[in-house]
Amino acid sequence: MDCRDTKKLQAAHFLIIAFFLVGSHTVAMSIQRDMPYSMVWFYLNPDEQQTRRMLQTVRDLGVMKTQALIYWWQIETLGGNYWKQMGYTERDIGTSKLKALDNYIKVSHELGMRPALRVGTFRVFKGLYHPMDTTGSVEKYCDWLRRMATRYKGKIDHWVIGDEENKRFPEWGWTGSAKDYMEKLFIPASIAIKEGDPDSRISCTAVSSAPATDWIMKVIALGLPRYGDGIAANIGYRRIEDLVELQNMMRKVKAVWPEAKFYANGVGYVEHAHLHDKRQASILAQCMFTLWDIGWNSAPYYVYAFSKTKDTHQNFGIMSLPGQDKAAVYSDAWFAYQTIAHTFYNRNKMRQPDFEIRLRQGEVCATEDGLKMRIAPPVPVFHSYIRNNNQMLLYIAYRKFREPCNGRWDILLRTKHWVRPKRIPILDYKARLAVPHHYEGDWLVIEKVKVSLEPAILILTRSGTEIIHSQDKEH
Amino acid sequence: MENMVSKVLIFVVIPAQVLLGGSGFWHPAGNTNAIVLQDSGKLVIRADGSTTAGVISKPLNTPQNCTAVMVEASVQNANQRSLTFAVFDDNTSDCIGYWQNPRAIGRAITIATVLSFSRDKVTSIRLFAGTHSHASHVQILSFHYTFLRKATRCHNSIYGCRIDHDHTLRQTFTAEGKELDAAVILIKALGNSFRGPNLKVSLYHWQDDFTSSLQAKPLASVIIPRSRIISVENIETLKEMDTDVIATYLTKSERKLAVPLKSKTTQGQRYILELAVDNPAATESGFLTYAWVDKYPHGQLFDGLTTRGRNWDIYMELFYGL
């Protein structure tokens, strides 16, 4: 072996090591990322390959969790054929459904994701947990929960017991009261799940009419912290446009239960009109960012694939799932979610800049008595974060989903340590676009940033730090 | 330029409250080449491309507790969002209030809008009328403003409530000032944007009960033309959506609508804000406003004369005079 061969071998070794380092780094980074981003998952499939094909798209999205819905009567038929009348086939029910659930949980973990489960209760069969158990007793339902928790011990991120059981269903004797929910459903269900998996995390139902603060505070007073780990709410984008009530609820919960987690069965619900629906993309991005920013723990976007709701015929989907001979189709909203997920994570490890930052409307429309009158719609949402002391992220947008508006803003940073501002385009998280900037004395001025419904995301690097991006682009 | 300024002064035709149009009240702003003043006193913007152009007022000292301005203007020929009204804090030069027309305006109509300030304790403002970052051929025929104080505001009202020949909504509330100048509601038209009834907003003083309250002459009654209210079918992105759903989460396309009421009120007394169609015989689709449970502690929503089962309230912002 001559010198050239040795060098080739060394180079090959280097490449192999580098390959593994890069690969393991990617997975490790993903696993370490703390983020609320999740996806409602209605696509349990007994075909493992198809399951992997579909879940891989979620992994590509950068989302670390999904949340599936399962019912007792879907997993165990108890000898009944009620499912035929419901339009189910043998592929969708019983052992086949259980296999689909097994696939979902197994493949999720293989891809580095944590699956969560929302367990359906009695709402489909008007007060019965299972159509073959006409007693309506919670005990047998709990037996099933215990079996599920045992089967998937250590593999479920969290469980949500039911959906919107704070509603009244007087026709089958359900009052929707916090007391009924806790005594008749949550406490027995939680005990059963913890018997199957003592380390499981369990949330009360995702409330209807969120944030339903009074109801949530009542279940907490009735012992939720003793039996569970968090609360859940279904949060439409209008709740996020005006955060007052949601944050008020979080404050009240944390005041009496600091360890409480905040879960959901669905968030966002942003109508999809077409693949390049900028409105859906922008609102979805703002919703997911905001839930991350306020410290929500699990925010499954409702819903992943294009489809229409049965009642209101609304399509909230963001993509079309792949099949064996069919490629996935991604909307702008999917790419926008991807940008948020890959940019904003590990909230607790970020810090606020310790220097002054100011916003200034960027367009001068007149000079009056020496004053430059600057025009742009007031009060955009603005946030700034420093990560690892080498990366600063800025986020600015108008969170006015009903009344979209546009304006140009200058962002002034009193620092010499942060340089090279670039924009991360909302549809391409890897790209970096140069933005005009200059210095005014001690101030770095990022000029005329376009602010709209679509969030503008800027990244700066610390002076002396060199960060290489895979797709650096310049204007 | 001087000539232009003096002409700009003419376009302000103010009937009362605050005398505009005095010498030096308005100055041109932005792209002055796009500003044309006709001899009649109209302000005309002529800009085929995106531009910012209009007029800006002299400083106006605001009364104590002023947190909003209502602008009433006669305008015509404005494409969607090509007309802008704005408020500047004269001490900082920041823009603190902003509005663009959500619907295109054809022939001359009088519009009203409330510009809430984005900060408190503003002592001096300037007003802007014109266009911001849009191509525009808007004509502004008259302009009137009123200082206001924002009182009631509801959060997160997202449940649709129908207003039509079968549904007249009545929200009770308790007055927080001596003159209720404007109410802002959330509204959208259902069905055809031009064919159908107009929106009628009335204000009643609560007597002993609904019957006697509604038999009395309303303190104010305002007809909002259907053409001013954005319709579901006007929004391209709603093409796939079923518009027949009643009272559900059809949350696209509704806009805030300011309704000038200008009625004397007595603080602490109860009133009724009524939302109805102007032609009860019209069977075409009406409107959707938005409500939620327990949003307003000092009143309640009634559909006709009955509640909706729980203590619902419509989304409303109420503004009182200063």
pLDDT tens column, A274-302? 999 999 999 999 999 999 999 999 999 99
Average pLDDT over residues A161-178: 93
pLDDT at B201 over 90: yes
User: What's the whole-number average pLDDT of chain B?
Assistant: 83
Question: What's the confidence (pLDDT) of residue A238?
Answer: 86
Asked if A42 and A69 count as a contact pair (C-beta separation under 8 A), the reply is yes
Cβ contact, residue pair A365, B255, below 8 Å: no
Q: Find out whether B232 and A217 touch, Cβ atoms under 8 Å.
A: no
Q: For B237, which of A277, A365, A374 is closest by C-beta distance? A: A277
Residue A199's pLDDT is what? 98
A316: closest chain B residue by CA: B241
Which residue on chain B is closest to A240 by alpha carbon? B156
Q: Is the pLDDT of residue A72 over 80?
A: yes
Q: Could you tell me what percent of chain A has a pLDDT over 70?
A: 91
Q: Is B179 helix (H, G, I), strand (E, B) or coil?
A: strand
**Predicted confidence (pLDDT) at residue B4 exceeds the cutoff of 80:** no
Give the closest-approach CA distance of B213 to chain A in angstroms.
32
Give pLDDT, residue A475: 34
What backbone phi and psi angles, to 5 degrees, belong to B282? -70, 125
Token look-up 């007029």 returns B55
pLDDT at B292: 82
Q: Do residues A432 and A423 lie in contact, with contact meaning Cβ atoms separated by under 8 Å?
A: yes
Hey, what are B177's tokens? 């000032």
Please give the C-alpha separations between residue B307 and each of A215, B167, B203, B215, in angstroms, as whole numbers.
Answer: 22, 12, 18, 20
Look at residue A12 in the predicted model and tell me its pLDDT: 53
Residue B279, helix vs strand vs coil: coil
In sequence order, the β-bridge partners of residue A360 are A410
Residue B53: closest C-alpha in chain A: A365
Query: B56: which chain A residues are within 8 Å (Cβ-Cβ)?
Result: 365-366, 368, 373
User: pTM score > 0.90 for this model?
Assistant: no
Lowest mean pLDDT among A180-189, A202-211, B151-160, B216-225: B151-160
Lowest mean pLDDT segment, chosen from A176-185, B172-181, B252-261:
B252-261
CA distance A436 to A450: 12
Across residues B213-241, what is the average pLDDT? 74
pLDDT band at B238 (very low <50, low <70, confident <90, very high): very low
Which residue among B27, B52, B293 places its CB closest to the CB of A363?
Answer: B52
pLDDT tens digits, A127-148:
999 999 999 999 999 999 999 9
Give the pLDDT confidence score for residue B41 in this predicted structure: 65
Distance from CA of A362 to the nearest CA of B (A): 10
Q: Is the minimum CB–CB distance between A6 and chain B shorter than 8 Å?
A: no
CA trace torsion A4, A5, A6, A9 (10° rounding):
130
Q: Which of B30, B52, B97 sits opposite A378 (nearest CB)?
A: B97
Give the rounded percent of residues in chain B with a pLDDT score beyond 70: 83
- Nearest alpha carbon to residue A421 among A454, A452, A396, A453: A396
Distance from the A92 Cα atom to the nearest Cα atom in chain B, whole angstroms: 29
Are the C-beta atoms of residues B303 and B320 closer than 8 Å to each other?
no
Per-residue pLDDT, averaged over A346-357, amounts to: 95
Q: Which of A29-33, B50-54, B107-111, B212-216 has the lowest mean pLDDT?
A: A29-33
Distance from CA of B154 to the nearest CA of A (A): 10
Q: Which two tokens stand for residue B61?
A: 């000292």
B-chain CB neighbours of A238 within 8 Å are 156, 158, 251
**Cα–Cα distance, A188 to A178 (Å, whole number):** 14
Predicted complex ipTM? 0.84
Q: Say which residue the tokens 């439409």 belong to.
A: A236
Inter-chain contact A279–B238, Cβ cutoff 8 Å?
no
* pLDDT of B24 higher than 50: yes
Gap between the Cα atoms of A326 and A319, Å rounded: 13
Q: Which of B212, B207, B30 is nearest to B132 (CA)?
A: B30
pLDDT at position A457, please?
A: 98
pLDDT, position A396: 98
Direct distance between the N- and C-terminal alpha carbons of chain B, in angstroms, rounded to an integer: 36
Element (H, E) at A289: helix A278-293
Partners of B97 on chain A (C-beta within 8 Å) are: 378
Contact A239, A211 (CB under 8 A): yes
A 211-250 near B (Cβ less than 8 A): 236-239, 242, 244-245
Smallest CA-to-CA distance from A457 within A334, A359, A336 is with A336
User: What is residue A473's predicted lDDT score, i.e. its pLDDT?
Assistant: 41
Please tell me which residue, B211 or B17, carries the higher pLDDT value: B211
